[in-house]
Chains A and B, each alone.
Chain A
Amino acid sequence: MGHGHPHHHHDHSHDHDHDHAVGGDLPAALDPTVPETELSPADRSRRSFLRNAGLLGAGTAATVLATPELAHAHGNGGDTGHGGDKEPKGGFHWLAGDHHIHTQYSSDAQYRVIDQARHARGHGLDWMVVTDHGSVAHAKIGVEKVNPDIVAAREQLKDLLIYQGLEWNIPAAEHATVFVAPGRNEVAVLKEFENAYDGSVKNAGGSSPANEALAIAGIKFLGEQVRRRRVDGALFLANHPARRGIDSPHEVRAWRDADPTVAIGMEGAPGHQAAGLPRPTAGRNRGYYDNGPSADSFAGYPLESYRTWGGFDWMTATVGGLWDSLLAEGKPWWISANSDSHVNYLDTSQRGPGSNFDLNGRHDDPVYGPLLTDAGDYWPGQYSRTHVGAASFSYRAVMDGLRAGRVWVDHGGLISGLDVRARVAGDRRPDSGTPLGGVLRVKRGTRVELTIDIDLANTPNWSQFVPVLGRVDVIAGQVTGPVADRDTFTAPTARVVKSYEVGKGTGRVSFTYAFGRVDQPFYVRLRGTDGNRTAPGLMGAHVDPFGPALDIAGDADPWKDLWFYANPIWVLPS
């Protein structure tokens, strides 16, 4: 199927074919136009898994509404691996990770790859992405020099998947994580990409139609490298999207539509979660979200969008806001939560003295230093985690899980496991139901319910307490199809439809929410909190009576304000 959306970038000069069928942009395993018989055994197994999980198409189409073939999940369709140290749950290995981590190859960071990797593993992560800033120095030196460090860390830490990526300066917009599957071309593809499309390297940061077109071309380039089998996968997630108001709604939509197998989502919560802690010096904002509108900002964004809410970015934290407006379109767009670790709170190291970053493309190795009481970041896995339901413990499976949106995120270890499924009412088979990121297609009038199984924290977090889950909110909204105005950032029908009080930190809790007989398409997503800080949502108390509260500069202790968010499931009666 084609994109079918109007050419809103009427003033673009780029020569890319907007009308290209999405199917043509897909890796073979994901491309329904490639017959089963033409697939390699590995691709056949991959397709089988995706199909059986009810996922084929959901995370790879521009909209779930046009997905040609979707089935209910039937659990794990094969592809079993050793699965890290996680037991399979509902047919998936839930692997925790972080796709936004800096090293000494970023001018504003300091750690070795192995420093970040050891801490990531120590804090329980299964996968991570090295994302040093795109820059002239990085494109020339760092992108190559960091690779042997990553390869060595992979050797040293066999139970941690370490991807090489880049923090892309999106032309005309914010930063984004871009990463590829490991392989012989990983450096070459990243280097070509950075040299051709980085907003800093190309001096293309400002808001203009030409720069927006360069961003689209960059995403298409990544998809092309996968199609040409230079790399096995490439993903894009927009980082700290609302921080400076420069990721306009139409840009977010355009990235997604440029190649939905590559551009899959955004940070629901930014990193730098320690930045808002009380400290003797002047208070900073959680996430370093302290900017206001600039000339490059999207004029329609309210001032509220420039701050965090319960540690989350406004696009995600607002029920009925920008994220919901994408989901209401039927547009798969997933959220994540990461550390953005540069310099970590209460660490005792400092940048290598005498470093010459511009010359060497890196800072010298860090050395022992004073206690970093002013730093704003946590180690990977210490506070923010992105949990991916993967078929196996492998690079490919984590990327497939991310692409499928089988993802939930938490702060501070609020919960330890989450199994959410949309089901035909009464079906309680452990291996059935549609998981996060999936699409449940049913006959009109079918009774549908949501089963929610939550493993509570059970173990202490990295501040050595066992978090207590206060409340779980079920959020739902109608699927209303493509928007007429690509700068839409509200979803009028989204609201909290049910809240469950929990008040426990150990054991397991289960809930069932009945939607009754369904006759209209909708999506549902989940959110939970320790309940310590709440406020009526920005769209009103009737939409979200107990939403996240505005984070206060210098008074935002992140450990006392914990949330988890899950990606959506669509229910499409027909």
Chain B
Amino acid sequence: MTDSQPWPPPGRRGAGGPGAGEPGSAGRAGGRAEGRGSGDLGTLLGQVARGDDAAYGVVYARVAAHVFGIARSVLRDPAQAEEVAQEVLLDVWRDAARYDAERGTAMAWVTTRAHRRAVDRVRSEQASAAREQRAARAEVSYDVVAETVAARLDAERVRRCLGSLTDLQRESITLAYYRGCTYREVAVLLKVPVGTVKTRMRDGLIRLRDCLGVD
């Protein structure tokens, strides 16, 4: 790999650091730790499905920062990111009854939708060639906010696990997830065969899964 990036990417060093959060917004970015384990988020979705506005407010508080963060990461443009985030969050309200705990955690259900929607948006907009060039140049900078201790620990753990992957695994995964590149685009960016990217993505995710201890 020739054009390898430093890890963590330069713009992300301050993630969760001082000044990242705004006063009075605590709790909004703290979804994962509370949603996991207790299975609370799934239960809340059940209540939302029955039209419970208050439960929806709690769900919003737990997932909005994740949803917006994903949209922001993939789309870059804050205005578009907000539009996509709103659509996804409204979908959560509309489709809450379709959430099936058998198929995965509630947080995964929400984040999968958010990522899919952001990626669909970005791909429908641009010819892939133009986007590849842009992705290659794009500066990675996130004003990432992790306000609660639990959320910071979650993020830290993910970073640590990402750090345990090989460069090629990690870069294949981050280019795809954080920037919304297809595996073919990733192959061009990393100058490796598409088959290699496919397998690195899978191997890397398997390692990540095992490192994070998800089932």
Q: Please indicate whether A and B come from the same complex rather than being unrelated chains.
A: no
